[in-house]
Amino acid sequence: MGTIETTCVQGGYVPGDGEPRQLPIVQSTTFKYDTSEHMGRLFDLEEDGYFYTRLQNPTNDAVAKKICQLEGGSAAMLTSSGQAATFFSLFNICECGDHVVASSAIYGGSYNLLAHTMRKMGVEATFVSPTCTREELDAAFRPNTKCVFGETIANPALAVLDIELFASAAHDHGVPLIVDNTFPTPVNCRPIEWGADIVTHSTTKYMDGHASCVGGAIVDSGNFDWMAHADKFPGLTQPDESYHGIVYAKRFGNAGAFITKATSQLMRDFGSIQSPQNAYLLNIGLESLHVRMPQHCRNGQAAAEFLSAHPKVASVRYPGLPGDRYHGLAQKYMPHGTCGVVSFDVAGGRAAAERFMRALRLCTIETHVADSRTCCLHPASSTHRQMTDEELVAAGISPSMVRLSCGLEGTQDILDDLAQALEQA
Ligand SMILES: *Cc1c(COP(=O)(O)O)cnc(C)c1O
């Protein structure tokens, strides 16, 4: 498709002569056929086509194709949320009795999914520090390990994953690396180029970018050779009895097996489809992603630098800061910028952080990140308010920590608001 900029604007949907310039919303649950035989060929996956929107819809497919091109993948699908994308990407290759190696610095929802819900389904997880050595990583694998999971930039820890290290360990153990690339987006990092096999997204964040739709996406690189590790991945390499005995890896090859299976099995059975209306709005967000990300990053960088020089701020975490422990990895994997999210500790503890939050004017209080509007969260008094100060510290969140998601406003306006709120803290 050309550059990332052109793909953001024009990827996925290419209208024919006389067709709508803007991506049409195919607001239809079902599709009409002249003969049952024709529909039968679709059900047998012998021909491409649409029959029911839970499985596939032309609007969703066009947007998935754009995200696929942005990530440099071979196939992609949309899901109803980022959580659904994470779950499908894991459950597509893990079943009861299997095991996952995951970075401990991941989104809270992904942690709960792995540590609690998937455990109840018989899939166990071992969590490793994102800063672990190759030896520590190797030691986490078991004979039943089926994948490695991590986040390019972890929400909210802002730890940067050493993608090459995690990919090489995964591959030496014969399993794929799955990377959640929500925070940098493919504008700032393309994990497949560094060895990731499958990439997931919460499109709810920067991709949508306007806090309008919850959504997710899964992209397959097409690089993982399922048949070379056939015994580990029977779901892809053995006949699927629920689908006329199809063998996904043989019929669709490395390029198509993973997404075809996730669509024809998991989407069929779990039904976490994105509505075509939401996919349309997501596509409008994607059209400006390459223009918005640099401004989110400029504001994030400026806020991080301002905060780290401020006497009422105890500490700042932002991978774009030279002193940050993840700065080296950020420079390697995201030389043009990381994201707009900064976390910092207000000096003076929980009460000072609460006063700071009350004094904010431009920055609004939200349980969200990656919106066009700057938003702010004090986990200790909101998402994590049931925890004591001691429990918070154990979870890596201090009572005075604030998560700031820099939007697209003028940089000086954000800094002025932070300055006046810190004055009152
Ligand atoms: C928000 C988020 C998710 C979950 O996505 P939803 O769209 O809210 O379901 C997953 N991963 C990361 C990194 C996120 O920030």
- For residue range 228-275, list pLDDT tens digits in order: 999 999 999 999 988 889 999 999 999 999 999 999 999 999 999 999
Domains and CATH numbers, the chain: 31-284 (3.40.640.10), 292-423 (3.90.1150.10)
CA of 56 to the centre of ligand 1 (A): 22
Q: Is pTM beyond 0.85 here?
A: yes
Q: Is 89 in the pocket of ligand 1 (CB under 6 A)?
A: no
Contact of 209 with 292, CB cutoff 8 Å: yes
Probe ligand 1: pick from 86, 182, 214, max atoms within 8 Å of CB?
182
Probe ligand 1: pick from 204, 212, 213, 383, max atoms within 8 Å of CB?
204
Q: Is 182 in the pocket of ligand 1 (CB under 6 A)?
A: yes
Q: Of all atoms in ligand 1, which is nearest to the CA of residue 370?
A: 15
Q: Is 275 in the pocket of ligand 1 (CB under 6 A)?
A: no
Q: Is 258 in the pocket of ligand 1 (CB under 6 A)?
A: no
CA of 107 to the centre of ligand 1 (A): 7
* d(C-alpha 105, C-alpha 119), whole Å: 18
Tell which residue, 209, 161, 417, has the closest CA to residue 307.
417
Q: Is 81 in the pocket of ligand 1 (CB under 6 A)?
A: yes
- For the chain, which residues score pLDDT lower than 50? none
CA of 405 to the centre of ligand 1 (A): 14
Atom 7 of ligand 1, nearest CA residue: 82
Atom 6 of ligand 1, nearest CA residue: 82
| Per-residue pLDDT at 163 | 98
Count of residues making up the chain: 425
Q: Of all atoms in ligand 1, which is nearest to the CA of residue 216?
A: 7
